[in-house]
Amino acid sequence: TMLTLFLGITGGITWGPAIEPIVRLGPFYGFVFCAFVAFMLFCMLNVLTGIFVDAAIQTAVNDRDNIIQRQMQEKKSLINMIKSVFETTDVDGSGCLSRDEFDGLLANHEVRFLLKNIGID
């Protein structure tokens, strides 16, 4: 019966007593029972386990804290890059940009893009 099949794959009944009446009907039916149990245990249950594991991994990847941390690291990296650009633009080494140095810096489209990425228009 269906109950015997269910109990056979869930450990509710041992396979020996479950297969004895089936084998009396014919060895082919015993083979079908064994194939069913093997298929369910090795294929279907592994697929279901894989689906649950994949869902757990996706949840961890999309974790809010991880996203915030990654965004903070990206912003810090952009700030460091812009700081480096400002330091190389300071040709007189005073630590401050003159108006001419700053205007030359803003003429660079890449620098304007970097500034816009960190929220400076």
pLDDT tens for each residue of 7-61: 777 777 777 787 888 888 899 988 888 888 888 878 878 888 899 999 888 887 7
Give the per-residue pLDDT at 51: 92
Which one-letter DSSP state was computed for residue 42? I
Output the CA torsion sign for 83, 88, 91, 95: positive
Residue 29 and residue 1 in contact, taking contact as beta carbons nearer than 8 Å: no
Per-residue pLDDT, averaged over 84-112, amounts to 81
Residue 111 and residue 84 in contact, taking contact as beta carbons nearer than 8 Å: no
**CB-count exposure of residue 8 (10 Å: 0-12, 13-18, 19+):** buried
* Structure tokens that stand for 106 in this block: 């803003």
Give the per-residue pLDDT at 120: 75
